[in-house]
């Protein structure tokens, strides 16, 4: 058992309409005794594809002790037997949420089972990542005109301009195949850093692709490590800048980046900045 995100169904709200069922190609949901039921922790990936399809809002994601999700079992028992369209939907689902480790596991199972994937794999590979949650819809904002903003914006009495180059920025939602990652200078920021350092946009974000997460509260250390390693191995990352807080728990950001670079075997420039609670660069 592991603590992870998984679907929870409010039986008082659920009327058994079954509209959530087609949107769970993993086969984790069934209507039993007039209610939608999670039939196996093993089949639920916790990504919540079914949530938006419930007209009564009876489905949510919770974090609890659950059996670990098993991509190989899901592919063999619930995806492959349903045919090409379900396979494609499942792969697009994983890709839209940036779950490249699971995506690659699924491809390995298809190859192992001798399933012909050439007819639809490229379509999935090139699919627009905005097919998933609207909050994770990819946006490349590098082409907007650059704005030079005076450091002391209060004195200059001008409106500061955002230097954000990409969306989403949260590491869980970031698509590791996003085009803006190619030849990018990455900025890894602890969640609190932009709030503590007043001139964060101009000092750190200009010309960089932002990735943020909380080293203490985000329960995805292994997943984040694999995702960053994948990005480093498949994209030509030019440099990585880290901005963390002075508190000890922010050391997880440093460890993540350094371990991923080491495991990838890449020679990448790494810079690290530490922000004090009072908002100064230490």
> How high is the pLDDT of residue 99?
80
- pTM exceeds 0.75 for this model: no
Query: 144-169 pLDDT, tens per residue?
Result: 555 555 555 554 455 678 999 999 99
Residues 60 and 77 in one domain: no
Residues 161 and 252 in one domain: yes
Would residue 281 count as lying in a domain? no
Residues 271 and 156 in one domain: yes
Least confident of 14-23, 66-75, 157-166, 189-198: 157-166
Place 128 in a pLDDT band, splitting at 50, 70 and 90: very low
The total number of residues written for the chain in this structure: 282
pLDDT > 50? residue 130: no
Least confident of 13-17, 53-57, 269-273: 53-57
Q: Is residue 275 reached through a cis peptide bond, with omega within 30 degrees of 0 on the bond before it? A: no
Residues 109 and 143 in one domain: no
How far does Cα 143 stand from its chain's mean position? 23
Residues 103 and 121 in one domain: yes
Biggest CA-to-CA distance, the chain: 67
CA distance 90 to 92: 5
Q: Which domain holds residue 101?
A: 71-131
Average model confidence (pLDDT) across the chain: 85
Would residue 225 count as lying in a domain? yes
Taking each helix axis from N to C end, the angle separating 221-234 and 100-112, rounded to the nearest 10 degrees, works out to 80
pLDDT > 60? residue 24: yes
Would residue 51 count as lying in a domain? yes
> How high is the pLDDT of residue 151?
55
Place 122 in a pLDDT band, splitting at 50, 70 and 90: low
């Amino acid at each position: 058992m592991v603590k992870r995100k998984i679907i929870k169904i409010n039986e008082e709200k659920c009327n058994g309409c079954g509209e959530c069922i087609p949107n769970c190609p993993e086969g984790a949901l069934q209507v039993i005794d007039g209610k939608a039921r999670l039939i196996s922790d093993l089949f639920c990936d916790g990504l919540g594809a079914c949530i938006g399809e419930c007209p009564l809002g009876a489905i949510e994601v919770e974090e609890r002790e659950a059996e670990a999700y098993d991509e190989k079992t899901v592919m063999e028992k619930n995806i492959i037997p349903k045919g090409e369209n379900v396979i494609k939907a499942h792969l697009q689902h994983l890709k839209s949420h940036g779950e490249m480790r699971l995506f690659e596991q699924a491809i390995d199972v298809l190859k192992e089972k001798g399933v012909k994937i050439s007819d639809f794999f490229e379509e999935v590979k090139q699919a627009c990542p905005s097919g998933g949650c609207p909050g994770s819809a990819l946006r490349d904002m590098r082409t907007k005109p650059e704005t030079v903003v005076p450091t002391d914006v209060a004195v200059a009495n001008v409106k500061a301009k955002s230097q954000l180059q990409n969306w989403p920025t949260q590491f869980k939602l970031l698509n590791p195949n996003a085009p803006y990652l190619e030849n990018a200078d990455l900025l890894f920021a602890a969640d609190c850093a932009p709030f503590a350092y007043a001139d964060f946009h101009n000092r750190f974000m200009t010309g960089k692709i932002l990735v943020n997460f909380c080293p203490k509260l985000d329960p995805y250390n292994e997943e984040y490590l694999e995702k960053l390693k994948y990005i480093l191995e498949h994209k030509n990352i030019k440099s990585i800048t880290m901005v963390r807080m002075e508190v000890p728990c922010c050391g997880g950001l440093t460890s993540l980046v350094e371990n991923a670079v080491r495991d990838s075997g890449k020679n990448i420039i790494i810079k690290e900045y530490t922000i004090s609670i009072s908002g100064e660069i230490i």
